[in-house]
Amino acid sequence: MLINLKKWSYWQFLLILPLALGKVVQLTAENFEGETLKGQWYIEFYAPWCGHCKNFGPIYEKASEEMKDKINFGQVDATVEKDLAETFHVDHYPTVKLCAEHLHFFLIYFYFFILKKKKEN
């Protein structure tokens, strides 16, 4: 079914646009665990005043559109959510981190059983 967008008002188009495109979820301390509990997430930590973040924003949005069915995208304003930024060891902007189910277990295994073994030998 084709939709005639010429008959749509600007506001109708803006209301439907997020459904068609990938969506970058704004993450806060309150919704972080609930949102990122399932699936894989790219999470961008940014500062609103950061020039590099402003340049990276459209690229990140486009990536979320192109990969909307494969991976989730989120953003954290690190100037507001300082505890989240500290938890993820963010010390510059923009920083993108991958959060995935069982990723932490893999990293712990890798550290204790692979790296430690190499250090001992």
Domains of the chain: 22-120 (3.40.30.10)
95, with CB counted inside 10 A (0-12, 13-18, 19+), is: middle
Contact 43, 34 (CB under 8 A): no
Task: Note the pLDDT tens digit of each residue in 20-31.
Answer: 445 899 999 999
Contact 40, 99 (CB under 8 A): yes
What pTM does this model have?
0.66
Give residue 75's pLDDT. 95
Confidence tier at 13 by pLDDT (50, 70, 90): very low
The residue among 26, 46, 39, 34 whose CA lies nearest residue 88 is 46
Bridge partners (DSSP) listed for residue 74: 25, 43
Active site residues: 50-53
Give residue 21's pLDDT. 43
Give residue 120's pLDDT. 62
